[in-house]
Amino acid sequence: MAEHSPSMVTLCCENSAFLAAEKTNLPGVKAVKIPCGAQLEHVHILRAFNQGAEGVMVLACLKENCKHSFGNDRAEKKVAYVKGLLKDMGVGEDRLAYAPVAANNEIKYTQAVKEMYEKLKEMGPIEGKVKK
C-alpha cells in the first residue's frame, strides 16, 4: 500500500516562525501567517482541521521574546485547550502541537515540522468515532 502523505498546516506568527517558514519548502505542509500568537483563536485551529488538515502545528516566538510580550504564551495555552477538545472528539491530541521558533531559524522550523509530519504519517488519516 502506498505510504500515506498527510496534509499539515502550520500556523506561524508573522514576527518569527513565518519568516523562518518562508525559507523552507516542505511538501504536504502549508504555512499560514498569523499576526501574533495572541491573535490565534481556538476556532482557527479547528477550522484548519475542517478544511482538510490532518495535523496542525502552532509556532510562535521564543519564550520571553514575543514582540507583543505574551502572545507566544497565550498561543501555547490555547493549543493546550484545543488539544483537550480534540481528545474529547476522539481525533487525538497528538495531531496538534506547539513549538517556539526564532525568525532566523529555518533549521529548527524544518526539524519541528518534519518530526510532526513523520508522526502524522504513522497515525494515518483521521478516522474513528467519538469515544462515548
Partner 1 sequence: MIIGERKPLEEVFNRTDSFKKICVLGCETCVAVCLAGGDKEAQETAEAIKMHREQTNNPVEIKASSIQRQCEYEFIDEVMEELKEYDVILSLACGVGVQTMATKVPEMFILPGLNTSFLGYPLEQGVWMENCKACGDCVLDRTYGICPVTRCSKSMMNGPCGGSSEGICEVSKDTECGWALIYDRLKALGKLEYMDEIIPPKNWSTSFHGGPRKIVREDVKIVRGE
Specify the residue, 42 or 114, whose C-beta has the smaller distance to partner 1: 42
Residue 86, sorted as left (phi over 0), alpha (psi -120 to 50) or beta, turns out to be alpha
The least distance separating partner 1 from the CB of residue 41, rounded to whole angstroms, comes to 6
Give 98 or 109: the residue with its C-beta nearer to partner 1.
98
CB 103 to partner 1: min, Å: 28
Rounded to an integer, what distance in angstroms lies between the CA atom of residue 97 and that of residue 88? 16
Query: Cβ closer to partner 1: 27 or 132?
Result: 132
Q: Least CB distance from residue 114 to partner 1, whole Å?
A: 26
Q: Which residues bind partner 1 (CB under 8 A)?
A: 41-43, 46-47, 49-50, 85, 88-91, 126-130, 132
Residue with cell 462515548: 132
Question: CB of 97: closest distance to partner 1 in angstroms?
Answer: 18
Q: Provide the 10 A C-beta neighbour count for residue 64.
A: 10
| CA 122 – CA 83 distance, rounded (Å) | 19
Q: Which of 126, 124, 115 is nearest to 50 (CA)?
A: 126
Using the minimum distance from each CB to partner 1, give the nearer residue, 26 or 46.
46
Q: What is the CA radius of gyration of the chain?
A: 14
